[in-house]
Chain A
Amino acid sequence: MTFAVITGASTGIGLELARCAATDGCEILICSDEAAIHDVAQTLRDQGAVVDALLVDLGTPEGVEALFDEIDGRHVDYFMANAGRGKGGAFLDQSEAEINEVIGVNVIGTTDVLHRTVRIMRKQGTGRILITGSIAGWMPGSYHAVYNATKAYVDLLSWAIRNEVTDTDITVTCLMPGPTDTEFFDRADMLDTPVGKADNKDDPQKVAEEGYAAMLDGRSGVTTGFMNKVQSLMSGLIPDSVLAAMHRKMAKPDGGPDHV
């Protein structure tokens, strides 16, 4: 049976990726830092899937260790590194703890699980990795500065690892969604921003299905949604300072000061 691991699978894109893998007949291991992961596991089991669920915080070394203890030397066919967090508002209004939490999950946790997964898959000689990056990585994130910067890290890391494994049967695919209709904006305290309020965000199910298909095809990257494709194309041509100003319009909280 094909074995798939999905991180950050309690809600949003991760939950939909878990559904894709379960529907595809995979045996899945899902994790999240919230207890809802066990409800998700039960729902998927009720639909006939073979599911193992783990409550862990991948922003901590212990959390990552626990996930790989659970994998326990098994053959990993698909690994979907999806867990991530945002945090809106001006950089100087955020606390160091909030900033370090975003970096801890999005960068350190993601890099740690990828490092272990690439080593496992190199031993296997085969495997498919899907990394949830973001179009935010191609755009400096005024009023979401650390989050966008962590996604710049993740997007670039994905292409670098993909290139390094070209001599193997491992593929690395970067899923780069635009604003997607998940709990992300609520959790990032961004419900009072234009992007948080927008009612034309992408459907997480469609985003996940496109990402999952791209992973199976071994494609390098997929940007979901038409406007996001336009935006990611443009981001290579427009100066970073202009992109940052565009991002300000989306992410600045309503009524906030123009500058600190």
Chain B
Amino acid sequence: MSEAKLAVITGASTGIGYEFARFAVEDGYELLICADEPAIEDAAEKLRRLGGTVQTMQVDLATAQGTDEFWAGVGDRHIDIFCANAGRALGTAFHEQDWDAIRGLIMLNMVQTTTLLHRVGLRMQAQTQGRILVTGSIGGFVPGPYDAVYNSTKAYLDSLCYALQDEWKGSPVTLTCLMPGPTDTPIFSRPENLLSDSPIAKNDSKDDVTVTARAGYEAMMAGHKGVVPGLVNKLIAMLAGVVPQSILAEIHRRGAKPE
């Protein structure tokens, strides 16, 4: 049993993280998955029906204690795959957001991701083997009026990933950054965020979650640096390099401002 390779995936109860978990089970990995909600058990049940060996943890990675608890659950095991996927959005205007919610978003999207990348990075360098997949976002290329802090946290993650890839150049550890566009997951409809009234939440042409996650998973397995799934998203990522920030901000406002 201990022969099986281990995949550790955060934020795996739904959405892109659940899809990563499904692909890893299909590839024969043993799983340790976590989320901050009881739905992680339902996800594990579905994955077990697919034949997976699945360990779950319900922890809040938006706190340092939750992150430590999760890391204690990983223990000193050899980690073959780590998907740093847990993240949330918030929505609405910056001044209307509650400070504790903003702080929680920064803690979840940035601080715990950085902490776990640091711990997993050290572990994998010692193992001289490992694959890491980080869920960034094309939101990181675009100033995000009406979800300002979210987009900024993703800019942080995108930048950090490219820097670490360069630092780890020539090492046996690979790091891949998945930068999805708007994808059809619960991120837009969670009760605690204020995005559900925005045009982007109501838009029915969002990317398919399986297609998005598959692009990221395959890029990780191939050791690619980054992947922006979908033609329109690729175009946005390219344009973001040449279009002034003020225009990018205006485009984002139209999608994210509550109606």
- Is B241 an interface residue when CB atoms closer than 8 A count as contact? yes
* Most A CB within 10 A of own CB, among B159, B161, B169, B252: B159
Q: Which of B33-41, B94-102, B205-213 contacts A (4 or more CB under 8 A)?
A: B94-102
Distance of A108 Cα from B114 Cα, bound (Å): 14
In the assembled complex, the Cα of A240 lies from the Cα of B34 at a distance in Å of: 31
B122–A92 CB distance below 8 A: yes
A137 at the interface (CB under 8 A from B): yes
Separation in Å of the A118 CB from the closest CB of chain B?
5
| B residues in contact with A143, CB < 8 Å | 163, 167
Q: Is the CB of B95 within 8 A of A152?
A: no
Cα–Cα, bound, A157→B97 (Å)? 14
The answer to whether B160 touches A145, judged by C-beta atoms less than 8 angstroms apart, is yes
Q: A142-B167, A237-B241, A260-B168 are in contact. Are A160 and B158 (CB under 8 A)?
A: no
A103 vs B146: C-alpha distance when bound (angstroms): 22
B155 touches A156 (CB 8 A): yes
Q: Which residues of B contact A107 (CB under 8 A)?
A: 106, 110, 156
How many chain A residues touch the partner (CB < 8 A)?
A: 57
Q: Is the CB of B162 within 8 A of A243?
A: yes
Are A247 and B166 in contact (CB-based, < 8 A)? yes
What's the minimum C-beta distance from B255 to chain A, rounded to whole angstroms?
12
Min distance, Cβ B87 to any Cβ of chain A, angstroms: 14
A100 touches B122 (CB 8 A): no
> Do B163 and A142 touch across chains, with their CB atoms under 8 A apart?
yes
With A and B bound together, what is the CA distance between A139 and B241 in angstroms? 12
Report the Cα distance A144→B162, complex, angstroms: 12
Query: Contacts of B246 on A, CB cut-off 8 Å?
Result: 159, 162-163, 220
Query: Is the pair A160, B115 in contact by a Cβ cutoff of 8 Å?
Result: no
Question: Known: A92-B118, A96-B115, A244-B165. Is A152-B94 also a contact (CB below 8 A)?
Answer: no
- Interface size class for chain B? 35 or more
Q: Which of B99, B111, B115, B159 contacts A112 (CB 8 A)?
A: B99
Chain A interface mostly helix, strand, loop or mixed?
Answer: helix
Q: Does A148 contact B (CB under 8 A)?
A: yes
Residue pair B166, A160 in contact (C-beta under 8 Å): no
Q: Are B95 and A118 in contact (CB under 8 A)?
A: yes
Judged by a CB distance under 8 angstroms, whether B140 is at the interface is: yes
**A100 → chain B closest CB, angstroms:** 7
**Nearest Cβ in chain A — how far from B67, in angstroms?**
10
Judge whether A153 and B155 touch: CB under 8 Å: yes
**A140 near B: Cβ within 8 Å?**
yes
Of the candidates B144, B156, B166, the one whose C-beta lies within 8 Å of that of A142 is B166
Q: Are B162 and A160 in contact (CB under 8 A)?
A: no
Q: Chain B interface secondary structure, helix, strand, loop or mixed?
A: helix
Which A200-235 residues have a C-beta within 8 angstroms of B?
220-221, 235
> Is A111 a contact partner of B102 (Cβ separation < 8 A)?
yes
Q: How far is the CA of A216 from the CA of B165 in the complex (A)?
A: 40
The answer on a CB contact under 8 Å between B163 and A145 is yes
A74 located at the interface, meaning its Cβ lies under 8 Å from any Cβ of chain B in the complex: no
Q: Are B242 and A244 in contact (CB under 8 A)?
A: no
Q: How far does the alpha carbon of A146 sit from the alpha carbon of B162 in the complex, in Å?
A: 11
Assuming the contacts A103-B114, A160-B144, A161-B148, asked whether A260 and B125 have C-beta atoms less than 8 A apart, the reply is yes
Give residues 139-162 of B contacting A (CB, 8 Å).
Answer: 140, 142-146, 148-149, 151-153, 155-162
Q: Are B163 and A149 in contact (CB under 8 A)?
A: yes
Closest chain A CB from B247 CB (angstroms): 10
Known: A118-B94, A241-B225, A247-B166. A164 touches B241 (CB 8 A): no
- Asked if B50 is an interface residue, CB under 8 A from chain A, the answer is no
Residues of A close to B240: CB separation below 8 A: 236
The reply to whether B106 and A137 form a contact with Cβ atoms under 8 Å apart is: no
Q: Given the complex, which residues of B lie within 8 Å of A152, measured CB to CB?
A: 140, 152, 155-156, 158-159
User: A residues within 8 Å of B by Cβ?
Assistant: 90-92, 94, 96, 99-100, 103, 107-108, 111-112, 114-115, 118-119, 122, 137, 139-146, 148-150, 152-164, 220-221, 235-237, 240-241, 243-245, 247-248, 258-260
Can you list 25 pairs linking A and B with CB atoms under 8 Å apart? A92-B118, A107-B156, A108-B103, A111-B106, A115-B99, A118-B94, A140-B160, A140-B161, A141-B159, A142-B166, A145-B159, A145-B160, A152-B159, A153-B152, A156-B245, A160-B252, A161-B145, A161-B148, A162-B246, A163-B253, A236-B241, A240-B159, A258-B169, A260-B168, A260-B171
With A152-B156, A164-B93 known, 10 other A-B pairs at CB within 8 A are: A91-B164, A94-B118, A99-B115, A100-B111, A103-B110, A140-B163, A145-B163, A152-B158, A240-B226, A241-B166
